[in-house]
A = this chain, B = another copy of it.
Amino acid sequence: MSIDRRLRLALFGSGRIGQVHARNVAAHPDLELALIADPFIDGARRLAAATGARAVESADEVFAEPGLDGVIIGSPTSTHVGLIEQAVRHGIAALCEKPIDLDLDTALACRERISGTSVPIMLGFNRRFDPAFASVQARVAAGEVGRLEQLTIISRDPAPAPRDYIAGSGGIFRDMTIHDLDMARFFVPDITEVTAVGTNVFSSDIEELGDYDSAVVTLRGRGGEIVTITNSRHCAFGYDQRLEAFGADGALAAGNVTPTTVRKYGAAGTEAAEAYQPFFLERYAQAYQSELAAFATSIRTGAPCSPSFDDGVAALILANAATESAATGRSVAVQPVTAGRD
């Protein structure tokens, strides 16, 4: 492909994740951040000032802008489906943060409405772009550990989100585990059964909301693979994000990340590493950049987006199944997303 001009992008949402995207677009030599839209216009203006963009209040102003190549949807979940559909109607590519929607039917209806389009739509499962996870996946795909048999994912947030956030989050499986469910599908795309156990072990707030603070999900792949996801809403030693891919011929593991390689040796302990990266902004800083680069490549080349809209649907189906399994104490069978779009 020849890069004869910079791609012009707009951003929805000036919150925490919007700021990550805005700065990454601004720093990318081949991308231009034209607009930042947020009804909370002060936030949009501040971020626009810092990144050379223009602040607008409404989505309509964005889609009225001539010459836009893509939008990044970092606004609240309830806006995702509408913005995706508007983007498709305008023939503008979209990178949408997860989840598509908290409601599967809404997501499936959207899928129906945008079926047949060739407009690139990418789901923001940023972890697929983490250099370590991506490297493990690529090496597994290249056969380095033989046939994949077991995948162990440990994923713990440093501290619970605020009570209000959790109240509207759709529950741990749709809000937090969904990233891990997509990671599971990155390695084992075809999941047939979901078994989940949720518990409350440290937060009465979360318990009162009818949600779990800790959970374990076991997935069965069509080939007999087993994926285990261990989640906690808190972690005293930082953002705990690890996985191990176990195959017939060996294993590959991706560990947590420290700022530097420095180790301490003292009377109380030896070889002590630094604290881990505190949360996703630090741990996945490079992943967000690579995700953006992949989105730009899809816009320029028309290559299919990965993760795709259907990956977003599939993760939501698994999250719903986990929610049901945890509630009923039964394993829940799942079907692959039927074709019709990809």
Residues of A within 8 A of B (CB): 27, 131-132, 135-136, 139, 144-147, 149-150, 152, 154, 156, 193, 195, 197, 199-202, 214-216, 218, 220, 223-226, 228, 230, 232, 234-238, 246-276, 329-331
Complex Cα gap A156–B246 (Å)? 11
| Residue in contact with A230 in the complex, picked from B197, B228, B257, B259, CB distance below 8 Å | B228
Find chain B residues with CB under 8 A from A246 CB: 156, 232, 235
Instruction: Assess whether B202 is in contact with A149, with CB atoms less than 8 Å apart.
Output: yes
Instruction: Assess whether A261 is in contact with B254, with CB atoms less than 8 Å apart.
Output: yes
Complex Cα gap A232–B253 (Å)? 17
Instruction: Assess whether A224 is in contact with B199, with CB atoms less than 8 Å apart.
Output: yes
Find chain B residues with CB under 8 A from A220 CB: 197, 199
Instruction: Assess whether A202 is in contact with B136, with CB atoms less than 8 Å apart.
Output: no
Instruction: Assess whether A197 is in contact with B214, with CB atoms less than 8 Å apart.
Output: no
Instruction: Assess whether A269 is in contact with B273, with CB atoms less than 8 Å apart.
Output: yes
Find chain B residues with CB under 8 A from A144 CB: 264
Instruction: Assess whether B224 is in contact with A201, with CB atoms less than 8 Å apart.
Output: yes
Find chain B residues with CB under 8 A from A250 CB: 236-237, 264-267
Complex Cα gap A261–B211 (Å)? 33
Complex Cα gap A126–B251 (Å)? 27
Could you tell me the distance in whole angstroms from the C-beta of A154 to the nearest C-beta in chain B? 7
Complex Cα gap A232–B223 (Å)? 15
| Residue in contact with A197 in the complex, picked from B226, B252, B269, CB distance below 8 Å | B226
